[in-house]
Structure 1
Amino acid sequence: MKVSDKPRRLTVKRMAEMLNVSTATISNAFNRPDQLSEARRRWILEECRRVGYMGPNAAARSLRTGRTGNVGVMLADNLAYSLTDPVASEFLHGLAEVFDRRQMNMLLLSSREDDEHRSRLQESMVDGFIVYGWLQEGRTYDRLLQHGKPMVAVDFDLEGCTWVNIDNYAGARGSAEHALKQAPETVAILGLRLVDTDQVCRVGDQKLFNEKRAISVRRLNGYTDALAAAGRQVSSELIWSVPVNTHQVAYQAAREALTSSPRPDLLLCMSDRIALAAIQVALQMGLKVPEDVRVVGFDGIPEGANLHPSLTTVYQQSAEKGRTAARLFLGEQEDRNVLLPTCLEIRESCP
């Protein structure tokens, strides 16, 4: 059948007749890929695309007009964590400010790969994606690329995709240079997701994540380059990887660091949550901050300014990061990569 001969309204039944398959086969090609061979599914999708049929459900058909009014926000972490983490929450707030003004909706999606059928259905209901955090290569990554929809990456680099990042390297290096002015004897780094493990651990000889995908490795490079410029270095045995940015896990890492020998008198922490946990551990051990141990954080969450001793930290523009990503997605600003600057906020924990 020629494209010019197609009926004005295509249905799943009509497509099944045209391709001499069952309606269930057409539906499976769009919504249950595990039910078909990859070659058969690809052939069905290509034929449907050729004649302008976008799928057997209302959400997919709306894509024929190019708009659903929904934006998929793909989160690297689970939804509960993303809504309680102060940095992620600020980022989502920034997105919402712009999308509210344009009367668009956000559909929060998790990058977990435990239910591909459900994920495909959800992803079919949006005009495109803002991908926040590290998206590992895998089924989710491949699936997003197959959609061929607009995408903006945030906090990591994605080939062929416009991204928004903060200058993690410069922020970390600047904070370390400030902390090193007082010539600490022993430096330890409490990192965030540096290696592929779900346990608190010392980095040792484990392979680090790729810095293009992991902002933590960019921060680590900033720290170590500042140390090298000062004629110092830190052993990989004094670099911890914290798998998730929660107080409980950060507390464990901080306690391991502050009970090691020699005990560090400077802790460079890759998040404010980790830094605040480190201050708590130090005070519980009877140590004075900053006299016995100085602590530097990263993020600039409000809690760090409100406690005593207040936290020296690198402030990142989390809400502006969200606003920028939304404006890029909507075409409200030039389609180019954006690197947002950071600011060192010097307080009591490392004056």
Structure 2
Amino acid sequence: MVTLKQIADEVGVSIRTVSIALNGDPVAGRISETCVQQIQDVANKRGYKVSAAARAIRLNRTFHIGVLVRNSPDMPLIDPAAYETIIGINQQLEKAGYILSLIRFTDVDKQFASESRVFKERVLDGIIGIGNISDHCTDIIQQAIKQCVWIDNNAVNLPYSVRRDEYSAGRLAAQHAYRLGYRNIFWIGGVKKEDGYHISMYERLEGVTDTLAQHDIPFREQKLPRWNPEVGPEQLKQVLNKENLFIAYNNEIATNLGQLATSMGYRIGRDFGMVCCEDSKYISDNWPGLSRSSFDRNAMGKTAADLMLELLNKKRKTEPRDILMPVRWIPGNTAWGPEYQD
């Protein structure tokens, strides 16, 4: 069986450095990623097997981080875009030697009622929550697990959080519409604050309404048949014209309007304008021409993971932090302006 000394001799480092890289905490030990990778490559080539149980006992860490997602048994695909964020989280945690575990937030109350070993036995070193986790569940988790990072949570008083700049997403969409010459601008999305709705809906809407108000443009709302059966094709025909532009709250609404209008014979961008306040990998691959605000969800996951690793580094105190991720505008081709002529 290969020994730590043999690995150290081959790489050209000390036995202690090899031990930390393979069995300890390379981040806390201040070993470069390049050095860690060289040691791991040699260890893998020689067939060295790390004892996770022994390492956990020695360092008082499990090297498992939970990722709390909004998926539930009856709605397993409620937030597929979260996958982009999860990939970013995993990329950073994996480099630091951590393993990611998925937890459904709808199971939290049930798990505590049965004293789940995820929380009772300290299986996790920390938790990263994604999306609008309820205040009740957030409180339960923070009481059970010391290190928590929250991504896109509705609460604004959480000590360690990473959020998208939702207000700018709405502002950029409205500014693009105004610059193109549109003055009849319709919002498609919710307008009333209701329990369970994500804060992005209201912050994007606020970005839109503030921009319209700056230019003395009245706010208008348009409903779609999918969510409002009383709205029929005849009503849509009255508003789908070159003078009008629609700002969709998210990808789902933009896709729904696009498919509906296309089936009715309209050309998006020419016969009416449309922009969206959201982006995703699916949209980038399947509708790259959609005029939209874009967030880098993968980078957001990496940022949250880096914050978690900073919290786990006991040698340094981490001050509470609310990180706002930037947004950029993709002009696309779904809005040409009311003066466009074929």
Specify if TM > 0.5: yes
| Alpha-carbon distance in structure 1 between the residues aligned to 2:62 and 2:73 | 22
Partner of 2:110: 115
Partner of 2:84: 90
Answer whether contact 1:72 1:109 (CA < 8 A) is retained.
yes
Distance 1:171 1:121, change over 3 A: same
| Alpha-carbon distance in structure 2 between the residues aligned to 1:143 and 1:63 | 26
3-state SS of 1:134 partner: coil
1:164-220 per-position Cα deviation (integer Å, ceiling 9, x unaligned) = 1121111210111111233435433222xx5xxxxxxxx4xx444699x61221111
Distance 1:119 1:186, change over 3 A: farther
Root mean square deviation, CA, Å: 3.4
Structure 1 counterpart of 2:215, one-letter code: A
| Alpha-carbon distance in structure 2 between the residues aligned to 1:347 and 1:165 | 25
Distance 1:253 1:259, change over 3 A: farther
Distance 1:209 1:71, change over 3 A: same
Partner of 2:171: 173
| Alpha-carbon distance in structure 2 between the residues aligned to 1:231 and 1:151 | 44
Answer whether contact 1:272 1:313 (CA < 8 A) is retained.
no
Q: If the length of structure 2 is used for normalisation, what is the TM-score?
A: 0.67
Structure 2 counterpart of 1:178, one-letter code: H
Answer whether contact 1:132 1:155 (CA < 8 A) is retained.
yes
Which has the higher relative contact order, 1 or 2, with Cα contacts under 8 A spaced 6 or more apart?
Answer: 2
1:319 aligns with 2:319: no
Pairwise CA distance, 1:77: 3.5
Partner of 1:20: none
1:25-68 per-position Cα deviation (integer Å, ceiling 9, x unaligned) = xxxxxxxxxxxxxxxxxxxxxxxxxxxxxxxxxx9xx7996422
Distance 1:254 1:300, change over 3 A: farther
Answer whether contact 2:270 2:335 (CA < 8 A) is retained.
no
Answer whether contact 1:268 1:297 (CA < 8 A) is retained.
yes
Partner of 1:232: 217
3-state SS of 1:266 partner: strand
Pairwise CA distance, 1:142: 2.7
Answer whether contact 1:130 1:152 (CA < 8 A) is retained.
yes
Distance 1:147 1:309, change over 3 A: closer
Q: If the length of structure 1 is used for normalisation, what is the TM-score?
A: 0.65
Structure 2 counterpart of 1:97, one-letter code: Q
3-state SS of 1:287 partner: coil
Structure 2 counterpart of 1:177, one-letter code: Q
1:56-98 per-position Cα deviation (integer Å, ceiling 9, x unaligned) = xxx9xx7996422111111133379676845211101101101
1:154 aligns with 2:154: no
Q: Between Structure 1 and Structure 2, how many residues are aligned?
A: 266
Pairwise CA distance, 1:260: 3.7
3-state SS of 2:277 partner: strand
Distance 1:159 1:81, change over 3 A: same
3-state SS of 2:150 partner: strand
Answer whether contact 2:71 2:78 (CA < 8 A) is retained.
no
Mind listing any 5+ residue stretches in structure 2 that lack a counterpart?
1-52, 337-342
| Alpha-carbon distance in structure 2 between the residues aligned to 1:181 and 1:315 | 19
Answer whether contact 2:161 2:322 (CA < 8 A) is retained.
yes
Give aligned-pair identity as a percent: 23
| Alpha-carbon distance in structure 2 between the residues aligned to 1:164 and 1:253 | 31
Pairwise CA distance, 1:309: 8.1
